[in-house]
Structure 1
């Protein structure tokens, strides 16, 4: 067989004695596990003999995979049929009677009863998805037993083809549960567990006695501002006894805290030990140069309280939620990779960040950034050719970017790390070189597809090795008042000392809008008299949930794509159901003459697409029609980026935002104005960065 590089080709030519058969690469990967089983795909000799025929190993693997998949499908089918039978049983008997009948009459194990009994209540309408995913009983049991929020996230991951097991369900459940705790509660729980684990060597009773006594002691002094009271004989005596108990549990030899990572258990123990020593000596105030304000708690006392496993009581004086960005000297510094047309950049600017650098390879997108923000430091270059180590000296707060999504999108070949456009490992390198306090990278849902699981795991391991606690989150554009069905994956990492304070921003379902209200003014600008009627129909159009029932009203735009030519059939059908012609990129809004033609549906101008992506109406895109369509389709909606930016800002600076006021400033005073026309520049003029006359799209 002819040797062909797997990286460079998408087809494999199989030569036989009588004919030549073309086999598509995806089919090859399905039949012959390749890299999924550790067998290099670039070595086809392992699968073919000298005459171009499959060898016995390849045939065995292909046959085994086919049989196993069939058996998995059969097992899933039987599980779902069993659940359906139990549902019918519950229609005529009580739950208690059904459980007893299944256990005694049908010999169903007690450990399986709740799964079948609760299935219809918690997973009704998801049968097709579960069948397609070939779900096993252990995974189904975990799915039925978890909370609603965890179940919804797991089902969403399964819909995009992600592989899910019981371990992942448990991890997601823990992440979502921890997200509901305050940072203090999270730290207290972690350090409380540390104290209990260490004390277990000498007995649970001793550990409980120590924590109870420590809690009672700290509760007396935690909120006091009376220095005389802290150095009283009673306090010093109790501190001495607690120090001796502490040393019996944790030892007396602790490294200085400045030599330890601030988020490590060893650091917390070192601080707690110092606190007891200084309390015993009456020298806590001013120790190590720490003198808290009257409205602050001493950090060493906080460390002591954490060891009790109980959260600190809230301050009597509540923090004021901020409603505007900080002054320039208090803004956080950000380096943005693959900045595109500036969607994420606008959002971070609104969230109180100052751009140190924006790196963008595409000349049209770089020109767009310079045109709208002349003061930004835009670097038009490939991030693979840039050494970022020197930037570490600038003490960067955030590294972010929208790394290329084509290796993971439905429009691409789904090659993942095999796609030369994949830059995830470069993202890891940049973070390792700059060492920011936090990072956030955006991508499409396909990033979580099962075929990329090994690559994603490797990426997360590398980030963690670089010193970050990392998690994957999903955001829906509609939850932030954007009239578009746009789901995005965010990989967010923070240094250990900040990770416990980060909270993913919650959505604003009451702010949900629709494509009609979002575009009605732009649709009517060129004389189309039916624009308001079209918008009203979109506002009243029902939306359906997974179970086929009406979930609400108000049509959302389908995901804005980069293409401006003929759409795919499914894409055209999705847009057509919302009475929108997605083909092409018209220069102007519809006219009355166009609307009078039979079968008329309005098409979207570039400005309309930009509005659906949440770009401000005065944002000017540079380049021709295709360049403009690419920039808009690849962008991160600014309000989504702003929400994440504010959440990271809050974690790094310990501030509280009035999130809604920040995301929708001066809403009550909003003035409706005509949107400007988009500026286009000829491709060969962009490199010179000269102003050109603005032309209509």
Structure 2
């Protein structure tokens, strides 16, 4: 490599320039050829299926797809010009995203021999707007944007100041409840309402302070309303709902609608128990943010729950043994084969059920909702190159059932093993449909090729693994490296907790272990005496 680099540096700069220009032309040609190929594929399958296929199997970023799909309609008539000028894809995306007048101005510049990049498109866009609305209106628009930008730089300070005022208000509420509300009585019929002048005066002061904080809240966030009414409207955990609940709490305090004051009882969103804390709890969302929060305390590993898996098409237990080695525990194994289930029951104490997948009802599956992993060696024969390869038309195809299991159970992750034939181009449309349906269930999908010989098995056994990780799980799944000890050095105690960011690491470990073990028990039978 060093010798080659020396030879390149010794070449004439003119020759190197020609090489660079040739490379640029090749890249542009490949890019537009790819767009043309995708355009042809759109005539053979739906756009939704095609999107899933391009992301999963072709590795095309999802963010590029809108521009690729819009290319023919927006820039198709100018393709020869774009090819000739070797316009890179990020500039093509900018041209598609901008308005028609700016796009035409950029194309005119390209036709005249001017190079156009993304900043150039932005400048042309500003010029187009200026010409359309006039110089004075454009200057006023710029002034307003500058003022907004300057104000936004101070927004974090206003949020912090609001939080500090909320903290003071909560402290005053605590003092009020301690002085005038007290502890719940033993006798439910006992009258505990304090109607003294001191209590009324304290409530008025609390109300006055809440009004000040409410005005400050509105100046920072504006009006943030909940879509529903009543307690049920405050149970959504989204940030907007929490902010809206804090807003509603401030309004209750500002109106004096807390404790017993003005016919309200308790500190809740509804009438009821005097010692509720819902209003205070909602305000806690506005407390000042800690810029450097302390790291989360280590979990008590003895109290953490083990990762659990549900397996379909369990066979003689090879995949389950691999999952066991990766730190998972079986919740249930399903298989329709009599000898396979006999083998499992004879050698393990696992919960095993002999049943066809399509005969397992949604009601039965609901007990496994939210399980850590759904796994299975989904029936291979419909896709095997040694068979007729009927695919989706084969009565033995179980991928549709596997998707039903994912839909009902909603596991944190799943992986389904199959043969290389599943990746044949004759099944392209069906694979795209599978990917689309799984992605619609909020899973990040990947189709990976593995060979068991790379993980300690004494035979070449290539396999495909379809892996899905729920979008709410942190981390990214990547192919395991060679060797079954790659990821096992990490303590499972660090990853067993359901909210652990290392769950994806354990999933990689699980695929690694099952790659090593999945074929070992494939032909084990459970005949009498074995």
Q: TM-score, normalised by structure 1?
A: 0.40
What's the CA shift for 1:424?
0.8
Q: Does 1:252 align with 2:225?
A: yes
CA contact (8 A) 1:239 1:276 kept: yes
1:617 is aligned to none
Q: Distance in 2 between matches of 1:259 and 1:368?
A: 52
User: Are the structure 2 counterparts of residues 396 and 118 from structure 1 closer, same or farther at C-alpha, using a change threshold of 3 Å?
Assistant: closer
1:386 is aligned to 360
User: Are the structure 2 counterparts of residues 500 and 234 from structure 1 closer, same or farther at C-alpha, using a change threshold of 3 Å?
Assistant: farther
1:216 is aligned to 157
> Residues 179-258 of structure 1 correspond to what in structure 2 (within 5 A)?
212-218=153-159, 228=168, 240-247=215-222, 252-255=225-228
What's the CA shift for 1:425?
0.7
Q: Distance in 2 between matches of 1:416 and 1:260?
A: 48
What's the CA shift for 1:117?
7.1
2:465 is aligned to 489
What's the CA shift for 1:316?
2.8
Q: Distance in 1 between matches of 2:57 and 2:10?
A: 28
> Residues 624-639 of structure 1 correspond to what in structure 2 (within 5 A)?
none
2:62 to 161, 171, 191: 171
User: Are the structure 2 counterparts of residues 272 and 211 from structure 1 closer, same or farther at C-alpha, using a change threshold of 3 Å?
Assistant: farther
CA contact (8 A) 1:404 1:443 kept: yes
CA contact (8 A) 2:309 2:330 kept: yes
Q: Distance in 2 between matches of 1:359 and 1:421?
A: 16
CA contact (8 A) 1:339 1:345 kept: yes
SS of equivalent to 1:653: coil
Q: Which runs of 5+ in 1 are unaligned?
A: 1-87, 103-107, 120-134, 143-161, 175-202, 306-311, 514-613, 615-637, 665-676
> Residues 344-355 of structure 1 correspond to what in structure 2 (within 5 A)?
344-355=319-330
What's the CA shift for 1:258?
5.5
User: Are the structure 2 counterparts of residues 355 and 663 from structure 1 closer, same or farther at C-alpha, using a change threshold of 3 Å?
Assistant: closer
Q: Distance in 2 between matches of 1:458 and 1:658?
A: 25
SS of equivalent to 1:472: strand
1:187 is aligned to none
2:295 is aligned to 317
What's the CA shift for 1:468?
3.1
1:32 is aligned to none
SS of equivalent to 1:169: coil
Output one character per residue of 1:374-415: Cα deviation in whole Å (capped at 9) or x when no partner. Answer: 2x1111222122224233145451432221233334444443
CA contact (8 A) 2:384 2:419 kept: yes
2:474 to 477, 492, 502: 502
What's the CA shift for 1:262?
6.2
Q: Does 1:116 align with 2:26?
A: yes
CA contact (8 A) 1:480 1:508 kept: no
CA contact (8 A) 2:480 2:509 kept: no
Q: Does 1:98 align with 2:18?
A: yes
What's the CA shift for 1:428?
1.8
What's the CA shift for 1:659?
5.6
Q: Does 1:273 align with 2:244?
A: yes
CA contact (8 A) 1:335 1:396 kept: no
Q: Distance in 2 between matches of 1:448 and 1:90?
A: 46
1:443 is aligned to 418
Output one character per residue of 1:539-583: Cα deviation in whole Å (capped at 9) or x when no partner. Answer: xxxxxxxxxxxxxxxxxxxxxxxxxxxxxxxxxxxxxxxxxxxxx
> Residues 5-24 of structure 1 correspond to what in structure 2 (within 5 A)?
none
What's the CA shift for 1:241?
3.0
Pick 1 or 2: higher relative contact order, CA cutoff 8 A, min separation 6: 2
Q: Distance in 1 between matches of 2:406 and 2:56?
A: 30
Higher CA-based Rg: 2
Q: How many residues were matched structurally?
A: 362
Q: Distance in 2 between matches of 1:394 and 1:678?
A: 26
CA contact (8 A) 1:360 1:379 kept: yes
User: Are the structure 2 counterparts of residues 290 and 136 from structure 1 closer, same or farther at C-alpha, using a change threshold of 3 Å?
Assistant: same
CA contact (8 A) 1:460 1:470 kept: no
Q: Distance in 2 between matches of 1:336 and 1:500?
A: 22
CA contact (8 A) 2:453 2:461 kept: no
1:15 is aligned to none
User: Are the structure 2 counterparts of residues 116 and 679 from structure 1 closer, same or farther at C-alpha, using a change threshold of 3 Å?
Assistant: closer
Q: Distance in 2 between matches of 1:290 and 1:238?
A: 14
Q: TM-score, normalised by structure 2?
A: 0.50
2:446 is aligned to 472
Output one character per residue of 1:508-547: Cα deviation in whole Å (capped at 9) or x when no partner. Answer: 65xx45xxxxxxxxxxxxxxxxxxxxxxxxxxxxxxxxxx
What's the CA shift for 1:416?
2.3
What's the CA shift for 1:419?
2.6
What's the CA shift for 1:369?
1.9
CA contact (8 A) 2:319 2:376 kept: yes
User: Are the structure 2 counterparts of residues 210 and 357 from structure 1 closer, same or farther at C-alpha, using a change threshold of 3 Å?
Assistant: farther
What's the CA shift for 1:337?
0.7
CA contact (8 A) 2:420 2:462 kept: no
What's the CA shift for 1:479?
12
